[in-house]
Amino acid sequence: MDTPTFRESVSDAIRFWEPRRLVYNAVLSVIVLFYFFRAYPASKAVLTLDAILGMFLLVVLANVAYCAAYIADAFAQWSTYRDMWKRYRWVLLAVGTFFAGILTRFIAIGIFWPNSN
């Protein structure tokens, strides 16, 4: 197969990654909600305007981090391993979601249980 154009690579990346962003965000949301309800009712006291704005900032940063997959995807599509990459790029999604989930867990614990060690 010929090397795709930049436009074709980006279009293919969008087609693959954007529907899966919903899964990524859902996984991170479940983790946050789990630790919120696990620490409830003490976690209710944490819900101040500043905390909510801080969590919104973290949501935006998590989605910016998700966009890093586009860079890896575009470079892999321009390589001679394009066909193999397209079959296995779900591995990047799984590893990235797992890594983001670990970070989310530690941050949620820090927010909802600030005095736990």
Residues 34-46: tens digit of each pLDDT: 999 998 888 888 8
- Phi first, then psi, for residue 99 (nearest 5°) are -60, -45
Contacts of 66 (CB under 8 A, 6+ apart): 17, 21, 24, 96, 100
Q: Are 16 and 66 in contact (CB under 8 A)?
A: no
Q: Where does the pLDDT of residue 108 fall: very low under 50, low under 70, confident under 90, or very high at 90 and above?
A: very high
| Continuous segment of H or E residues that includes residue 39 | none
Total length of the chain = 117
pTM, two decimals, is 0.86
Contacts of 25 (CB under 8 A, 6+ apart): 59, 62, 63
* Residue 79 confidence (pLDDT): 86
Q: Compute the distance between CA of residue 68 and CA of residue 65 in angstroms, rounded to an integer.
A: 5
